[in-house]
Chains A and B, each alone.
Chain A
């Protein structure tokens, strides 16, 4: 076992930053932002360190409070965790820098409390990813949920509190279902450590209580990740928040839930149990296919760009769930790769929306006219992110979709393959509609503007602040880098991870 304190540091640094920031908000407000920045930077650094250690010397186990696993709580970092941790902490840090200006505008007296809640949200996410204990996961999940309710309610004063309260009700049902599932497992096994539960479950494959526990864990996570029929809370919650919050929650929350689902499927219940003892996989792949199409179709009907992107998220959830439940290595590879890619893609999309709303004050599609000439860099980012969502080759979206389609063909799930292709077409239509409005309709719009002498309004729009552009540039570059190196990500991280958990048939 490798002696390292990074797993603890990863979670403790942002927690400490949240506490200090909240304390300093009463004493000296100007320290809040630097404290939070340092906290997140430390956790990004430790996530990077962890990935390096895991790549060279294998899985890290860290015993909290020094007790051996089944009795104490264990943090277990393997290849999958390490990558996801890196993505989460990087996105949180970049968004913090990018949204500093708009947060200063929105929150005046409550700046300290806002940043404190922001970091607590990130703490929760990092903990959920790193933990190896079923109940600890629940507690951290609740920290993330509580903070996300608050962050969402800080947006549009008319609608966001209601969207947030609805999200709270559904979120509580989801988390409680997960807790109930864990209770069913605990009653049958007597343990809470993931690896230990998995060992005991080997002899309990026929038990109906384990089956119900499994179903309720999955139901809870599906509610939290907004899989299609359970998605009703997502579009309102994500589109009525202020954008600085939306682009933190939208890329991370749902993807982390998909990650937890994959973690439970592989590490706790085991591949054999899910795909050989149970016959649920076909049903779930069908649900996922419907989710992909439904998300796309509902996105087509929207006029607000934030809502369009929110429905695209619903559709993308279908990709990942379907891929994970195909029951073969290629599908699972595609699913895991898509968690990474989709987090970055969605983040890039919402960064673009953030830049636009910072200048335009709203994200209605009609206001996009002529944006290409006014905000060339932002729109270049939109083009890149859009291509990635559609799945155009040099960007990363193509590769994960490629693995998913291969997996679908391998499993004989042609409806899933069909859904993937149709959804690519729908995304293409959506994005070209946006491009068309913002590129080609500019001249007409300008004429009208001149006639109505409203010229100063549109002339006032200029490119977003530099800090926002740099973060967008970084993220867009990551899209291409992930695409170019996706082969080595699969070879060095995902395949060894899957072989480690015997996910090869």
Chain B
């Protein structure tokens, strides 16, 4: 197997390398790729869309249809993780720890799930004591991470950023919560149902903006049509359309990141893990 693998790799690499002599040099500014479409995007984007961040304007306007499906891919990944892993069979044992004494109680399946009170906390099967420093630092950091995520989403038109990046940062704040405390604490802050609804809602916002444009008489996702219902001129309404779309992307990505993490970390049982 090793030699077959090496052979395949060598042949593929050889074929790929044989074409490099035909390529333009690295950084050559007159290559077809850097002149044909890109010059139009660079020179006309401000005029046509009013957005200085060219990556955003190409991503969310010129090729917005691609980006819609990209969001659908993310949505689909979350859905697939849920479909494959989610396991509704409840765990057999529940552990409760008396906080002041450290005595652990184990409840079998037939016993009703006791709600954690102030004296008792529910804990994982392999319990690691909470580290005060980590918990405190994360508790302070999480709000700032979330605010920064909102900034990245909102400022995507003018500086590097956008829905995907912001969504990932926002999602990671919940993952940080799950890691530093435990999974149950994180799942209490944001319920599974909410996550499922949010991931669909995010893509729905994107598709919805496209459909509104269609109803207003333009093509699908043609933001300039939004000027008929918003008090802005047809060029700058495109920036607003892009912002709306980016918010949708951000919501979907945030929800899906958490869904993927929770399902993989707890093997679909959503009770404990990592």
Q: Which residue numbers of A lie inside 8 Å of B, CB to CB?
A: 5, 8, 12, 15-16, 18-20, 22-23, 25-27, 62-67, 70-73, 109-110, 113-114, 116-117, 120, 123, 127, 133, 135-136, 139-140, 142-143, 146-147, 149-150, 153-154, 161, 180, 184, 186-192, 200, 207-209, 211-213, 215-216
Q: Which residue numbers of B lie inside 8 Å of A, CB to CB?
A: 15-16, 18-19, 21-24, 31-38, 40-41, 61-66, 69-70, 72-73, 75-77, 79-80, 82-84, 86, 88, 193, 196-197, 199-201, 203-204, 207, 210-211, 214, 218-224
Evaluate whether A12 and B220 lie within 8 angstroms (CB atoms) in the complex, with A143-B73, A186-B33 already known.
Answer: yes
Contact assessment for A209 and B22 in the assembled complex, using a CB-CB cutoff below 8 Å: yes
| Given A22-B199, A64-B64: 6 more A-B contacts, CB < 8 Å | A12-B207, A16-B204, A19-B75, A136-B65, A209-B23, A212-B16
Question: Smallest distance from the beta carbon of B148 to chain A beta carbons, Å?
Answer: 28
A26 to B61, CA, bound (A): 32
Closest A residue to B87 by beta carbon equals A109
Contact assessment for A73 and B65 in the assembled complex, using a CB-CB cutoff below 8 Å: yes
- A sample of 16 inter-chain contacts (CB < 8 A) reads A12-B211, A15-B72, A15-B207, A19-B200, A22-B79, A65-B65, A66-B221, A66-B224, A113-B82, A147-B76, A150-B80, A150-B83, A184-B19, A190-B36, A209-B23, A213-B19
Of the candidates B32, B65, B88, B211, the one having the most CB atoms from chain A within 10 angstroms of its own CB is B65
Question: Smallest distance from the beta carbon of A249 to chain B beta carbons, Å?
Answer: 15
Residues of chain A lying within 8 A (CB to CB) of residue B79: 22, 113, 116-117, 120, 150
Evaluate whether A62 and B219 lie within 8 angstroms (CB atoms) in the complex, with A143-B72, A146-B80 already known.
Answer: yes
Contact assessment for A140 and B69 in the assembled complex, using a CB-CB cutoff below 8 Å: yes
Closest B residue to A138 by beta carbon equals B66
Contact assessment for B84 and A153 in the assembled complex, using a CB-CB cutoff below 8 Å: yes
Contact assessment for B221 and A187 in the assembled complex, using a CB-CB cutoff below 8 Å: no
A71 to B66, CA, bound (A): 12
A503 to B77, CA, bound (A): 41
- Interface on chain A toward B: helix, strand, loop, or mixed SS? helix
Contact assessment for A127 and B19 in the assembled complex, using a CB-CB cutoff below 8 Å: no
Closest A residue to B211 by beta carbon equals A12
Residues of chain A lying within 8 A (CB to CB) of residue B203: 15, 19
Contact assessment for B193 and A215 in the assembled complex, using a CB-CB cutoff below 8 Å: no
Contact assessment for A113 and B69 in the assembled complex, using a CB-CB cutoff below 8 Å: no
A311 to B19, CA, bound (A): 36
Contact assessment for B83 and A187 in the assembled complex, using a CB-CB cutoff below 8 Å: no
Closest A residue to B218 by beta carbon equals A66
Residues of chain B lying within 8 A (CB to CB) of residue A73: 63, 65-66
Closest A residue to B38 by beta carbon equals A190
A184 to B31, CA, bound (A): 13
Residues of chain A lying within 8 A (CB to CB) of residue B18: 208, 212
Question: Smallest distance from the beta carbon of A256 to chain B beta carbons, Å?
Answer: 16
Q: Which of A153, A188, A192, A212 contacts B32 (CB 8 A)?
A: A188
Contact assessment for A123 and B72 in the assembled complex, using a CB-CB cutoff below 8 Å: yes
Residues of chain B lying within 8 A (CB to CB) of residue A133: 66
Contact assessment for A187 and B24 in the assembled complex, using a CB-CB cutoff below 8 Å: yes
* A-B CB contacts (within 8 Å), total count: 169
Q: Which of A12, A190, A212, A216 contacts B37 (CB 8 A)?
A: A190
A70 to B44, CA, bound (A): 14
Q: Which of B36, B88, B200, B204 contacts A191 (CB 8 A)?
A: B36
- Interface on chain B toward A: helix, strand, loop, or mixed SS? helix
Question: Smallest distance from the beta carbon of B122 to chain A beta carbons, Å?
Answer: 23
Evaluate whether A63 and B72 lie within 8 angstroms (CB atoms) in the complex, with A110-B86, A208-B18 already known.
Answer: no
Residues of chain A lying within 8 A (CB to CB) of residue B65: 64-65, 72-73, 136
Contact assessment for A22 and B196 in the assembled complex, using a CB-CB cutoff below 8 Å: yes
Contact assessment for A66 and B222 in the assembled complex, using a CB-CB cutoff below 8 Å: yes
Closest A residue to B65 by beta carbon equals A64
A19 to B207, CA, bound (A): 10
Contact assessment for A208 and B21 in the assembled complex, using a CB-CB cutoff below 8 Å: yes
Question: Smallest distance from the beta carbon of B9 to chain A beta carbons, Å?
Answer: 12
A143 to B38, CA, bound (A): 27
A180 to B79, CA, bound (A): 28
Closest B residue to A212 by beta carbon equals B19
Evaluate whether A146 and B66 lie within 8 angstroms (CB atoms) in the complex, with A8-B220, A64-B221 already known.
Answer: no
Evaluate whether A127 and B219 lie within 8 angstroms (CB atoms) in the complex, with A26-B196, A190-B33, A208-B22 already known.
Answer: no
A18 to B68, CA, bound (A): 14
Closest A residue to B199 by beta carbon equals A22
Residues of chain A lying within 8 A (CB to CB) of residue B35: 190
A23 to B66, CA, bound (A): 23
Residues of chain B lying within 8 A (CB to CB) of residue A135: 63, 66
Residues of chain A lying within 8 A (CB to CB) of residue B80: 117, 146-147, 149-150
Residues of chain A lying within 8 A (CB to CB) of residue B72: 15, 18, 120, 123, 143
A209 to B24, CA, bound (A): 11
Contact assessment for B210 and A12 in the assembled complex, using a CB-CB cutoff below 8 Å: yes
Contact assessment for A117 and B62 in the assembled complex, using a CB-CB cutoff below 8 Å: no
Closest B residue to A184 by beta carbon equals B19
Evaluate whether A64 and B219 lie within 8 angstroms (CB atoms) in the complex, with A22-B200, A109-B88, A113-B79 already known.
Answer: yes
A209 to B16, CA, bound (A): 9
Closest A residue to B225 by beta carbon equals A66
A72 to B69, CA, bound (A): 15
Closest B residue to A107 by beta carbon equals B83
Question: Smallest distance from the beta carbon of B68 to chain A beta carbons, Å?
Answer: 8
Residues of chain B lying within 8 A (CB to CB) of residue A140: 69
Residues of chain A lying within 8 A (CB to CB) of residue B196: 22-23, 25-26
Question: Smallest distance from the beta carbon of B126 to chain A beta carbons, Å?
Answer: 26
Residues of chain B lying within 8 A (CB to CB) of residue A216: 16
Question: Smallest distance from the beta carbon of A10 to chain B beta carbons, Å?
Answer: 11
Of the candidates B19, B75, B88, B211, the one having the most CB atoms from chain A within 10 angstroms of its own CB is B19
Q: Which of A72, A123, A143, A208 contacts B63 (CB 8 A)?
A: A72
Question: Smallest distance from the beta carbon of B195 to chain A beta carbons, Å?
Answer: 9
Residues of chain A lying within 8 A (CB to CB) of residue B22: 188, 207-209
A18 to B207, CA, bound (A): 12
Question: Smallest distance from the beta carbon of A220 to chain B beta carbons, Å?
Answer: 12
Contact assessment for A16 and B34 in the assembled complex, using a CB-CB cutoff below 8 Å: no
Evaluate whether A208 and B77 lie within 8 angstroms (CB atoms) in the complex, with A12-B211, A66-B222, A72-B62 already known.
Answer: no
Question: Smallest distance from the beta carbon of A218 to chain B beta carbons, Å?
Answer: 12
Residues of chain A lying within 8 A (CB to CB) of residue B222: 65-66
Question: Smallest distance from the beta carbon of A204 to chain B beta carbons, Å?
Answer: 9
A63 to B222, CA, bound (A): 9
